Structure 1
Amino acid sequence: MVQRRIPKIKDLAPLMRFKTPELDARKRRLDAALTIYDLRDIAKRRTPTAAFDYTDGAAEAELSLGRARQAFEDIEFKPSILRDVSTVSTGWDVLGASVAQPFGIAPTGFTRMMQTEGEIAGARAAARAGIPFSLSTMGTTSIEDVKAASPQGRNWFQLYMWKDRDRSIALVDRAAKAGYDTLLVTVDVPVAGARLRDKRNGFSIPPALTLGTVANALPRPEWWINFLTTEPLSFASLDRSSGTVAELIDSMFDPSVTFEDLAWIKAQWPGKIVVKGVQTLEDAKRLVDLGVDGITLSNHGGRQLDRAPIPFHLLPQVAREVGAHTEVHLDTGIMSGADIVASVALGARFTMIGRAYLYGLMAGGEAGVDRTIQILSEQISRTMRLLGVNALEELNPTHVTQLARLTPIAANAVAAAEAAPARTSPARKPAVRA
């Protein structure tokens, strides 16, 4: 029989650990977010559908994005035991300068649409964390204002080539004069991808006030108050800022850009140059011959060609073939620090986060970006300790196995043909004539 008694106050006292209520609602909700997916849930509640879907969505059936995220889930880590991991180092050199973490903030277009603090919030948070911040050609804050907001930060500028080459190079010159150290040339947008969520939402720039958008705004008053009481939304580097994003891309971007144009751009830029949007080993090798400082394996977050190659699947071969000659970076699908650790183990020198950063921004502005960086940094450190490594340099392909889920049929057929015994052709029977 269980003996029962009335609890005594002295027994209850050690159990009573009431916390002081957090009165700051923003801090309270951000502290409760333990993963990037938690930040995404908060962002979805606080952001109008059209703006959230512009960030969250991808092209057509969104297969490329889904497959990219699945690829990170389909890995198996190989930890070592009984290692002293009391201290770990999560930084090293990227493009000739140190970074505190092996990730940075990717260039994102129309960022102030997501949350009014926009690129300024991202640049400041990145500078505090000791990681690079990339400003997009399609950004909503000027090159100079971003640099002024984070004068000690490491700023990169992302370039789309326009049909008007003089204006494109004018942006490059401005970035160089402002002190940006790296130029990211994005090469996977000859035309706009078919982003169906945007079409279904009637997404436009600036956002249109319709009965639908007004109804959607009612439970999200803070976003609309910020939108209506701050500087009007526009692209900082474009004269034209009305219509859909696809219309802007198709009217301004140059679909005729070639490797020769890239060489010309490289000659104009005094700093490091990275080509973003590489999706084949053949193109990676050609870029090495061109002398670029880095390549970014990326399918544009699944926002361009649906069913595009999965960057994380490409990584081991590309790193093995060209990693000794140029830095290999990676983006698309990264949602945790474990994804970043796996990428480094398989040969990536650096990774970039786009949606993960924007989820934090939408969830809580600059403090939300800080929380994104904090979550990823803690996950990186914890994953490294559990793997038994002290520094990024110790990570290698033996730590990660990519589990097979999507295997090319052609490769299976070749393997089966090589393994099968030789077959003799059946004797042909003479044709029967009527």
Structure 2
Amino acid sequence: MAHIVILGGGIGGMTAAYDMKEQVGPNDKVTVVSEHPYFQFTPSNPWVAVNWRTREDITFEIAPYLARKGIDFIAKAAKKVHPADNRIELIDGSFVDYDFLIIATGPKLAFDEVEGLGPEKFTHSVCAVDHAVKSGAAWNQFVADPGPIVVGAVQGASCYGPAYEYALIMDTDLRRRKIRSKVPMTFVTAEPYIGHLGLGGVGDSKGLLESTFRDKHIKWICNAKVTKVEAGKMYVTEHNDDGSVKKEHELPFKYSMMLPAFKGVDAVFGVEGLANPRGFTIIDEFQRNPKYKNIYSVGVCVAIPPVEATPIPVGTPKTGYMIESMVTATVHNIRQAMDGKEPDHKATWNAVCLADFGDEGAAFVAIPQIPPRNVSWFKKGKWVHYAKVGYEKYFLNKIKKGNTEPFYERYVLKLIGVTRLHK
């Protein structure tokens, strides 16, 4: 009998649990370990942060849904992974032994790397549902007495889509309230240009997103390093393309949301051979750790190098399509290992994304993720907004039902294909 443990109960972890259960035999056991008793649909957090969604709309208790599929669930945080002993130490001092481990924790949010950053300090966040709920409460206060907004992503961030989404969702909400004229907005980002997205740009992402920002009267500062945040003021150093300092900015704000850099979670941080210096899980082309070959990893917590060198550190995003592809490869490779075979399934690291802007949106496809590409496609339109709403509904139902059908393959890529025909 084999025991497969999935560490993490997010999009990657839940999908891996369902897929793995379909691959194992009746005497094998699948267990999910998560610090939260609930699943949160992270892509909807920007909507929660302007109160277009509630916490209840995008979360549900994990245990009952896993139980229906015969999957065990432990709602406790992991303190440390002990790969030499094939066990996980939990926060309460108990241990979970495993034959195979899938690390799908998502990231640790490194707010502490910038003084004054984060929801416990002076800026808001859409990275977790608790943060988004807090942001939504502050948003209600803000719209009653509006002022300047500073929004974006600090140095080392790797998931830029939500920053663009939230900036433009706030813009839409303010226009609906007819108070947009009272809110100067500045987008601050470590990216070398608007639309870089951590991917070196995709199609005409630079031109289209710059045009959108101009149309919406959103100013921007690129190659930006946030040095410090105080109550109502952000200190930003803008750099030239050669890395030299171009200008120092002191930006006043009444409301701010800045995405932080990511790190690996504490449970794997510092485990030699398992995690890199930032704590991300080291994997080979089969999603498998080279040193501990019964450990696999999927999602945002895996180590992926930057797409290109930039004046200010810019990480590489891991989109929903990539996560699904990683999960599929991982599950099949573990099945092969259980059968005494060498893994041979590889994930297709292509970037496919839907970004909502409130009343329209943008979709992009980068195949492969790292240039040069076979496909580099970026389009805007109202259809993306409706597609993102459909994405939310479809995926929440998929996870509740334990449906393992790949969402992006069956929904987003077909949708984009139809759109291209209409274009």
TM score, norm. by length of structure 1: 0.27
The structure where helix makes up a greater share of residues is: 1
With a CA cutoff of 8 Å and minimum separation of 6, indicate the structure with the bigger relative contact order: 1
Q: Give the structure with the higher percent strand.
A: 2
Larger radius of gyration: 1
